[in-house]
Amino acid sequence: MPWNALIKGLQRIFGTPGLDGIPLDTSRLAQFRNLINRHGLSRLRPRDLMDGYLATLPATHRSGKGVYYTPNPVVEFILDQTLPPPRTGKKNLEPYDDDFRLLEPACGAGYFLLAAYRRMKREYIRNGFSASLANRIILSWRIAAIDIDPSALLVALAAILQEGGDEIDGALTDSPILIPFYCADFLYKDLDGGSTSLGKILATGIPAIVGNPPYVSFYAKRAKAISEREKKYYQSVYRMGKGRINTYCLFIERAFDLLPPSGVLGFIVPNTLLIMKSYEPLRRYLLENGWLKSIVDLSLKVFPEVEVPTCILTVEKRDSRGIQFPRKVKTGFWESARGEAPKGLESTIQDRFAGFPYAMFNIHIRSADKD
Count up the domains in the chain and report the number. Answer: 1
Distance CA 117, CA 113 (A): 6
Apex 289 CA angle, 284 and 295, nearest 5: 65
Instruction: Note whether residue 301 is domain-resident.
Output: no
Instruction: Note whether residue 318 is domain-resident.
Output: no
Distance CA 73, CA 300 (A): 15
> What residue numbers bound the domain in which 152 lies?
1-203
Is pLDDT above 50 for 307?
A: yes
Amino acid 33: pLDDT? 93
Q: At what angle do helices 3-14 and 46-56 cross, to 10 degrees?
A: 110
Instruction: Note whether residue 115 is domain-resident.
Output: yes
Instruction: Note whether residue 352 is domain-resident.
Output: no
Tell me the CA distances in angstroms from 137 to 99, 125, 183, 249, 279, one per residue in order.
12, 12, 21, 32, 39
Instruction: Give the helix/strand (H/E) hosting 115.
Output: helix 111-126
Amino acid 370: pLDDT? 47
Distance CA 278, CA 243 (A): 7
Instruction: Note whether residue 172 is domain-resident.
Output: yes
Give the pairing of strands 290-298 and 143-147. Answer: unpaired
Q: What is the pLDDT of residues 269-299, one digit of tens each?
A: 998 899 999 999 999 999 999 999 999 998 6
DSSP letter for each residue of 127-157: TT--HHHHHHHIIIIIEEEEES-HHHHHHHH
| b/e map 348-364, b = 16+ CB within 10 Å | bebebbeeeeebbbbbe
Among 62-71, 125-134, 349-358, which range has the highest average pLDDT? 125-134
Instruction: Note whether residue 265 is domain-resident.
Output: no
Instruction: Note whether residue 313 is domain-resident.
Output: no
DSSP state of 358: G
**Inter-residue contact 312 to 347 (CB < 8 Å):** no
Distance CA 254, CA 183 (A): 17
Instruction: Note whether residue 221 is domain-resident.
Output: no
| pLDDT level of residue 187 (50, 70, 90 thresholds) | very high
| pLDDT level of residue 60 (50, 70, 90 thresholds) | low
Give the pairing of strands 264-270 and 310-317. Answer: antiparallel
- Regarding predicted confidence, which is higher, 72 or 123? 123
Distance CA 133, CA 331 (A): 39
